[in-house]
Structure 1
Amino acid sequence: LLSAEFIFLFKRKMFRVFWQVFPKSFSASSRIREEIVLSQREILSWKFYSNMASDFRVERDTFGELKVPSDKYYGAQTARSLMNFDIGGPNERMPLPIIHAFGVLKKAAAIVNKARGLDAVLSDAIVKAADEVIEGKLDDHFPLVIWQTGSGTQSNMNVNEVISNRAIEILGGQLGSKNPVHPNDHVNMAQSSNDTYPTAMHISTAVEINKLLLPNLKKLHEALQNKAKEFASIIKIGRTHTQNGEDLQDAVPLSLGQEFSGYAQQIAYGIERVNATLPRLYELALGGTAVGTGLNTYKGFAEKAAAEIAKQTGLPFKSAPNKFEALAAHDTMVEVHGALNVIACSLMKIANDIRFLGSGPRSGLGELILPENEPGSSIMPGKVNPTQCEAVTMVAAQVIGNQVAVSVGGSNGHFELNVFKPLIVSNVLRSIRLISDCSRSFTDHCVIGIQANHDRIKKLMNESLMLVTALNPHIGYDKAAQIAKLGHKEGITLKEAALKLGFLTADQFDQWVKPEEMLGPK
């Protein structure tokens, strides 16, 4: 940016501000800041679209000409979006699963349109270019960010332009000529951004769920289930009425296996909840075009395109029965994230329990021995922390936050179109990826390696006053409560307190208070 052009432009801006504003007022700082921002935008535009003919080509849209980097397949509408929506930078780009899903639907549309008059040569070239999009070979040609038009129009056109120019190149034509493959007339034939973007939303979400989320949740469920079996014979004291892991209140015994079986069931239900959303997620908006009526498409297109998408992905996609709902509302996406939100809540509970049960080694609960994966402190030698649990709880917090964004976006479908589409799908995809990755990491680096601290578990159980609950059927609640209170007050065992009060004999206590017989109904 320290070029002669930049210096000249900046000086020109500053001179203009001082000449116009300073003689009238000494409060020019805010105006100066505004002009600096405008200068930065002009420089950004100059940086990407300068007159260096060897590095750029001229593309046109309905607003006029723009210079586009010669090594990129996108065209004028993508370039214009880059100028108009400089928000967030590369970290906020449209998620690649959306781009790859667009490749799937553009390929399907080209195949179906071939039978409806789209030239076979053009169709085949579009299919080849779309395949490269699907395979990720053209990822660098999709620079647009999430924060654009809420219908995703710019991203749909980004895909149309890339596929068009790549198809032109395949056919030996000139990039940017829109000949013989036009981005709107051929790549976008029988389509609108209003139906293609929600179609890509559903395709990408369904693919990510089946490819990443469900396999990793099943892996976590299996690991927790295995621990439940491994710990089935280990009896421990239960705890109820806790607050953030503090104020732990003793309860009656249960097995460590029973405790872990609860965790496993939570994940099993989470898997069921996700699966329950899939039938509606497999319904596609394609064929609704602008407002759901199907204007500029033809009978059979929607059904045939959905069938082709199903063939390509191996998932049972079908045409949505009501395109007006499919364009104007995204209740299905909200429903999907609702299931993810429940899983996040489950993961928060499970990870918190495991890290609290593994707290110590000397002053915590210490019932579990967690894998030691890395040093835990830069100042305390030998310290090891429950880092996997911490990562899981942070992921859970993020997903719970994403739920708010998805809910707000989903509730703002006005009339015939919801214009929060990129916001909704980007948060759904992020939550899917986060839960998938953290479930795998938690399984591999924590759950599989968890061990029970038998001595500590036994010690805490034998010291618990809540074993007195077993005496209720024999001596009544009130006398049992007196035994517990005396034991706590004088720091003696339950047996010693019971004998001191004279409520039962030593043999009776040993016969009635057996933790291993307190794990279920008799």
Structure 2
Amino acid sequence: MAMYVLSRRGQYSTSMLVGGLRCSSTWLRSISTGFREERDTFGPIQVPSDKLWGAQTQRSLQNFEIGGDRERMPEPIIRAFGILKKCAAKVNMEYGLDPTIGKAIMQAAQEVAEGKLNDHFPLVSVEFKDIIKIGRTHTQDATPLTLGQEFSGYSTQVKYGIDRITCTLPRMYQLAQGGTAVGTGLNTKKGFDVKIAAAVAEETSLPFVTAENKFEALSVRLLGDASASFEKNCVRGIQANKARISKLLHEKIGYDNAAAVAKKAHKEGSTLKEAALRLGVLTSEEFDKLVVPEKMIGPSD
């Protein structure tokens, strides 16, 4: 959520905060529907009464309606900004920010910072451990494996990804706040960068520090939107289509039978078993005995 009461880079002025103060959550308790009027250098504009942002954010929503709901920030990023803004308000009160305004900012920022994400991704590898499906290599059907084995690979990829991120934490804990627009620290107070890092560290119980070089710190990019969307739209609530998996598994097994059987099955659109029976290579009983998917999902004894 963008919040007008919280200005860019953690530096606030009374003129920028007056509108935001009017729309803090304390003031909104008596307003449930409709719009309120906010003003900026372009004049008045109507803002939904239940939103914490002000005139500039509302104009941005109207003038730059690109992507819409498809390109919203991941919730963890929004919560992180809430923590930053709360700490910035706390430090700015030490530098003379009106406590009435500062406390309103902190209250609104705390509301932004609250929330949780569900993570069920690694659990399905256990749930799917007995479901056998056809494996694929180079876009072609290959040998069988269980759905659980397949998802264990995904789970391990996520684990290794977390490990790689963990290794970067000493640098990720360096905050650019206090560098303002381009890293120079223009319009901030001396010591603001150190104090806000200390405040964030206290708020999160994590070892945040101010970045040694604010110019370098400004180049960091957060690439969390794809993972958040995948988790929400695909992984969460995923279920196995057992009937479909079984059908695909037995339609084409591949590699284990004679070329003639595979060629005939492909040409006629039949299963390998049907092709083998029509060619007289195997009886039905022999095929069922030799081709057992459950014995093809791991090393032999």
Q: Could you say which TM-score interval applies, normalised by the shorter chain?
A: 0.5 to 0.7
Equivalent position SS for 2:264 = helix
Specify which of 152, 171, 174 is matched with residue 261 of structure 1. 152
Q: Is the 8 A contact 2:86 2:110 kept in 1?
A: no
Instruction: Give the corresponding residue for 2:61.
Output: 88
Q: Is the 8 A contact 1:108 1:308 kept in 2?
A: yes
| Structure 2: distance between partners of 1:239 and 1:277 | 34
Q: Does 1:343 align with 2:233?
A: no
Specify which of 82, 89, 100 is matched with residue 106 of structure 1. 89
Q: Does 1:331 align with 2:222?
A: no
Q: Is the 8 A contact 1:100 1:136 kept in 2?
A: no
* Structure 2: gaps of 5 or more residues: 1-13, 25-37, 44-54, 66-77
Q: Does 1:483 align with 2:271?
A: no
Q: Deviations over 1:50-103 (max 9, x none)?
A: xxxxxxxxxx98xxxxxx87x8499xxx944454964434998xx797476333
| Structure 1: distance between partners of 2:272 and 2:79 | 63
| Structure 1: distance between partners of 2:123 and 2:216 | 44
**TM-score of the superposed pair, with normalisation by structure 1:** 0.37
Instruction: Give the corresponding residue for 2:8.
Output: none
Amino acid at match of 2:263: K
Percent of aligned positions with the same letter in both sequences? 40
Q: Deviations over 1:210-265 (max 9, x none)?
A: x64xx43xx132xxx333212212222335666xxxxxx54322212223334434
Instruction: Give the corresponding residue for 1:303.
Output: 194
| Structure 1: distance between partners of 2:297 and 2:265 | 23
Change beyond 3 A, Cα 1:269–1:485: same
Q: Is the 8 A contact 2:85 2:109 kept in 1?
A: no
- Aligned CA-pair RMSD: 4.8
Q: Is the 8 A contact 1:270 1:343 kept in 2?
A: no
Aligned positions of 1:283-294 closer than 5 A:
283-288=174-179, 292=183
Q: Is the 8 A contact 1:104 1:130 kept in 2?
A: no
| Structure 2: distance between partners of 1:495 and 1:331 | 59
Q: Is the 8 A contact 2:87 2:196 kept in 1?
A: no
Change beyond 3 A, Cα 1:309–1:238: closer
| Structure 2: distance between partners of 1:288 and 1:456 | 56
Aligned positions of 1:89-168 closer than 5 A:
89=62, 98=81, 101-111=84-94, 126=99, 129-136=101-108
Q: Does 1:516 align with 2:297?
A: no
> Displacement of 1:322 after TM fit?
0.9
Q: Does 1:226 align with 2:123?
A: yes
| Structure 1: distance between partners of 2:298 and 2:60 | 58
Compare 273-282 and 301-310 and name the one that shifted more: 273-282
Change beyond 3 A, Cα 1:487–1:325: closer
| Structure 1: distance between partners of 2:195 and 2:137 | 56
| Structure 2: distance between partners of 1:514 and 1:319 | 61
| Structure 2: distance between partners of 1:288 and 1:493 | 66
Q: Is the 8 A contact 1:470 1:512 kept in 2?
A: no
Aligned positions of 1:95-494 closer than 5 A:
98=81, 101-111=84-94, 126=99, 129-136=101-108, 212=116, 215-216=117-118, 219-221=119-121, 225-239=122-136, 250-269=141-160, 271-272=162-163, 275=166, 278-288=169-179, 292=183, 297-298=189-190, 302-326=193-217, 330-332=218-220, 334=221, 336-337=222-223, 340=224, 343=227, 395=229, 438=232, 443=236, 446-447=237-238, 450=239, 452-453=241-242, 455-466=243-254, 469-471=255-257, 480-490=258-268, 493-494=271-272
| Structure 1: distance between partners of 2:182 and 2:271 | 75
| Structure 2: distance between partners of 1:517 and 1:510 | 12
Amino acid at match of 1:220: H
Amino acid at match of 1:285: A
Q: Deviations over 1:415-462 (max 9, x none)?
A: xxxxxxxxxxxxxxxxxxxx6xx36x962xx33xx3553x55434433
| Structure 1: distance between partners of 2:134 and 2:79 | 48
Q: Is the 8 A contact 1:238 1:254 kept in 2?
A: yes
- Bigger CA radius of gyration: 1
| Structure 2: distance between partners of 1:105 and 1:137 | 10
**TM-score of the superposed pair, with normalisation by structure 2:** 0.59
Q: How many residues align?
A: 249
Q: Is the 8 A contact 1:239 1:251 kept in 2?
A: yes
Q: Is the 8 A contact 2:82 2:110 kept in 1?
A: no
Change beyond 3 A, Cα 1:511–1:322: same
Q: Which has the higher contact order (CA 8 A, sep 6+)?
A: 2
| Structure 2: distance between partners of 1:96 and 1:514 | 51
Instruction: Give the corresponding residue for 1:384.
Output: none
Instruction: Give the corresponding residue for 1:168.
Output: none
* Structure 1: gaps of 5 or more residues: 1-59, 62-67, 114-121, 140-203, 243-248, 345-394, 397-434, 472-479
| Structure 2: distance between partners of 1:305 and 1:280 | 17
| Structure 2: distance between partners of 1:266 and 1:495 | 36
Q: Is the 8 A contact 1:237 1:253 kept in 2?
A: yes
